[in-house]
Amino acid sequence: MLQAFKIKEFDLNPVFAAWENPPRFYGDRKRDMSVDEWLEQIRVGCVERKVPEEYWHKVAQYYLGDKAKARLIELKNVMTQMNGGKYRWSWKKFKIAMKNMGCASSLSLLPFNLDQWLTLPIIPF
């Protein structure tokens, strides 16, 4: 009975091999199209190639550049920790994550030293 609820395996390698000039997202605002446009191109490409919706987020992750992929991995780690070690991605959750995470928001890029702020004493009002 539980087998009916499991996602059926789908081999994405033929999809990746056959997709000529796929949409890529590098995490560079100068180089990239908008996130919404990129997500729509991924969705349309997956529909054309008959990829089940349960795998769309995996296809999109495959076409992320290094900078964007590193940022997504950071977010994945946080979401996994916040949800007790288990977090299951879907296309809807992936779209929300991509729209809300700035790809250039590494802590090293902040205009101030975060460690200084974390060690400041809390002054009650």
Q: Which residue has the higher pLDDT, 50 or 104?
A: 50
pLDDT-derived band of residue 58, with 50, 70 and 90 as boundaries?
very high
The whole-number average pLDDT for the span 62-71 is: 93
Please state, in angstroms and rounded to a whole number, the distance separating the CA atoms of residues 57 and 59.
Answer: 5
Per-residue tokens: 19: 């997709």
pLDDT at position 9 is 87
Give the least confident one: 18-32, 55-69, 111-125: 111-125
Q: Are 96 and 60 in contact (CB under 8 A)?
A: no
Confidence of residue 124 (pLDDT cuts 50, 70, 90): low
Dump pLDDT digits (tens) for 71-111: 999 989 988 888 888 888 999 999 999 988 765 444 444 44
What type of residue sits at position 20?
A: E
**In the predicted structure, residue 16 carries a pLDDT above the cut 70:** yes
Mean of per-residue pLDDT scores for the chain: 82
